[in-house]
Structure 1
Amino acid sequence: MMSLLSKLERIPGEMCRLPSHGIGYEQGVFADDVTNGDVMVFPVSSYDEIILKTPEKLLSGTAIYEVFKRRIPAIKQPEKLFHKDVDFLMTVLRKVSYGEEVQVTFNHECKEDSKDHSYVVNISSLLQGTKRIDPTALSNTFTLENGQEVCMGTMLFSDMLELTQLRLKMMNQEIGETDDIILEYENTACDAISRSIISVDDVTDKQQIKEWLFNVPIAYREALNVNIEEYNSSWGMSLDSISKCKDCGQEISLRPTINPVSFFMLP
């Protein structure tokens, strides 16, 4: 006789292809039989849902890593995933766990008496609009005003999370402790960004790149940030969905949050 657990194992998941196609990862991040970034995603359990709603686990990243290991078993080292792939996988998890639709509450504020309205966003439509990474453009090279050539790669989810953690820490600090936190934030930011920089003038040493980031003029740092943003927007999925305002009829852009605390709430 088939056991209850074995029957659960037969509940279908969904095979999906990562926006990165699995390109650019070191060996060991995925199971040996994964090709082209194709992984099977299974629905979350009630226990997984609780984990994804635990603030401490979310902020540390362990919530997502734990759930990915259980529900996307082909991913062996989720902490090494690109943040664009994590966003995509969270959306697929939402779809296979709760269905095709998610509700978004939005007030266009187009009239004095405009109200909050509930809109439905189709998750499959969002996933179908995913931009696939260009295998010939795994890195992004650009030149600063002083002639230095910077070669950028893709930022990891863990690096993005580290920056978020420190921002929250800064917001919660007493005024007298601000200077130390600002220095800590800048060091952390330089450390995280340096890990996504492949080289500067062919120099690949991460410590040298970090020191360079810490001392580079603000105008160059801003140019670097703009370039990073442009490169990151060249692939991956967008959560923007176009609908019509229920008050004025104009087109509006709806954006369901990818934050697991609210994104994994049942509609």
Structure 2
Amino acid sequence: MASSSSPAYYQGSFLISSTPTRCYLICQPCSPRPHRRKQNGVRCSVAERRLLFSRIAPVYDNLNDLLSLGKHRVWKKMCVSWSGAKKGDAVLDLCCGSGDLAFLLSQKVGPNGEVSALDFSWKQLLVASARQDQSWKSCYNNIKWFEGDALNLLFDDTYFDAITVGYGLRNLIDKPKAMKEILRVLKPGSKVSILDFNKSTSSFITQFQDWTLENVVVPVAYTHGFSEEYKYLKSSIADFLTGKELEELAKAVGFSDARHYQIAGGLMGNLVATA
């Protein structure tokens, strides 16, 4: 599917078009949905979540480094490695945020590959685009930024050789629909690699995770003026799926295989599902 006329292409900008035979422009914000989800007493709509991630966009990278002591970079490299992306591939980074995984994918697929990076927050995309423009790595020129809806991907069927999702699936209202869309745009035999907080079945890990969020994450975010935004983390993890449930979901929507790996002592997890 492609637009009838192809608008101008702006490299390094989230306002992107590509050739009519490939992916095409998603230049308008997806409309806020009226649906609101209750999260342990917290009600959070799609529009509110978009606003949340837009507010934290300017400090998102610095806070990630600070809160994880830089370890999130290791976990993201693992996520990209599990995706199976290789030279010359067409890949998608879904819920791309400020672009960490997209930049890693760019290096994996090389100048002959292509990276599509999609997010619902245009402010996050502006940060990602600025990072692309400021980089000395020429391979980053193969990244195209899209503003759009992860539940309604405007890409052709069986288009991508690999897909990554970093800390995004947890924030989507309709996870089964998101997984179906991922499966639809993946080539048969290709993989999606989904990194996120792990909802552990271990009471010890859950208690440690809660303690870390309440005593480290929120206080540090408070010093940057974003304590309310980061309080959302705890409720979103509580409402997330366990590793086993993620595997079951992937298989239920049609993936041929799904494995969930616990990392960082069980605080994080990575689902790898094969189309």
Structure ranking higher in strand proportion: 2
TM norm structure 1: 0.26
Q: TM-score, normalised by structure 2?
A: 0.26
Could you say which structure has the greater relative contact order, defined with CA pairs below 8 angstroms and 6 or more residues apart?
1
